[in-house]
Amino acid sequence: MKLGEIYRFAVEKGMEKDPRGKKKVLDELKKIKEKYEKMDKKEKEYFDREKLSNPYADTRILYGELNKEIKNVLMGIDMEVGEVLAAQMLRNKGEKIDLIISHHPEGSALASFYEVMHMQADILNKYGVPINVAEDLLGERIKEVSQKVMPANHQRAVDLARLFDIPMMCIHTPADNHVTNYLQGIMDKKKPQTLDDIMNILKEIPEYKEGANLNNGPKIIVGSAEKRAGKVFVDMTGGTEGSQKIFEKLSQTDVGTIVGMHLSIEHSKEAQKNHINVVIAGHIPSDNLGLNLLLDELFKKEKLKITSLSGFRRVER
């Protein structure tokens, strides 16, 4: 399979599993295309044309030719300088590594990953938060996240991959869409009555079993095991944590429990203040689940050899 095919496949599957619905995503892409067509020559010069067909700023080919044939992939959750060095060391030992795939964004995808946070407004709206409120609260948070990421040296790992001539890409939101879709489907079907029921459901899933064995499994951080769950909102996509102020608005809907990947202390305090239960499934186990679900889809087209690194464990379904 060619590098460009893997990339386009990940984006397409990400759109299919997007919590907003594929139609909404395509409508957003159409708006971006219309905006692009109205730009002058100077504006177009600095416009990232990938945005015309890829709605996920945190998912990009970072280095490599689109027609490069890929058979052997080194995949991890965070593929940074150390992991790129490891890729070259494996090659020096005779291992074939055609591509590095990082889940978390690197390079230009890291520099602009906060742009995917806009999708959170539509997701919150689905759960009963007025769209104008969701957009306003997210606007503040997106600005904050963008400023935090600005000073980072985004290109370190990508520059090293280029020196070693190892193609590199990152797949973030498409994988997160998969885990969100998968878990929300399970919660909607099984309708857990208590937080303990949610915990038991999660611990039946191999990635969360593995996480629990490594002391990084599901945990109740707001609420208690016997508390009733109410409506469960699986909140695992859209770049990173949204606004702390959103919990007040969610408490005015019928959402009783959030199942998330991770949550800051400040966010969890707001959830507690507003009587929203929170179950943290686990960050890295959730990332693993999303990637594994996406790989299962990819492998229906063509199997690749996956070498795992940096917290990733391949589980086939």
Whether the pLDDT of residue 239 is over 90: the answer is no
Q: Do 67 and 3 form a contact (C-beta atoms < 8 A)?
A: yes
Question: To the nearest whole number, what is the mean pLDDT of the chain?
Answer: 97
Q: Do 61 and 169 form a contact (C-beta atoms < 8 A)?
A: yes
> What is the spatial distance between Cα 60 and Cα 157, in angstroms, rounded to a whole number?
14
In tens, the pLDDT along 118-175 reads: 999 999 999 999 999 999 999 999 999 999 999 999 999 999 999 999 999 999 999 9
Closest CA to 53 of 16, 91, 25: 25
- Domain 178-283: state its class: alpha beta
Quote the pLDDT of residue 112. Answer: 96
% of the chain with per-residue pLDDT over 90:
98
Q: How confident is the model at residue 294 (pLDDT cuts 50, 70, 90)?
A: very high
With both helix axes pointing from N to C terminus, report the angle between 173-190 and 3-16 in degrees, rounded to the nearest 10.
30
% of the chain with per-residue pLDDT over 70:
100
- Six token digits for residue 140: 């503040």
- Six token digits for residue 40: 């002058």
Q: Do 63 and 84 form a contact (C-beta atoms < 8 A)?
A: no
Instruction: Read off the pLDDT of each residue in 271-294 and give the average, rounded to a whole number.
Output: 98
Instruction: Read off the pLDDT of each residue in 69-88 and give the average, rounded to a whole number.
Output: 98
Domain residue ranges of the chain, discontinuous segments joined by +: 3-175+287-307, 178-283
Whether the pLDDT of residue 61 is over 90: the answer is yes
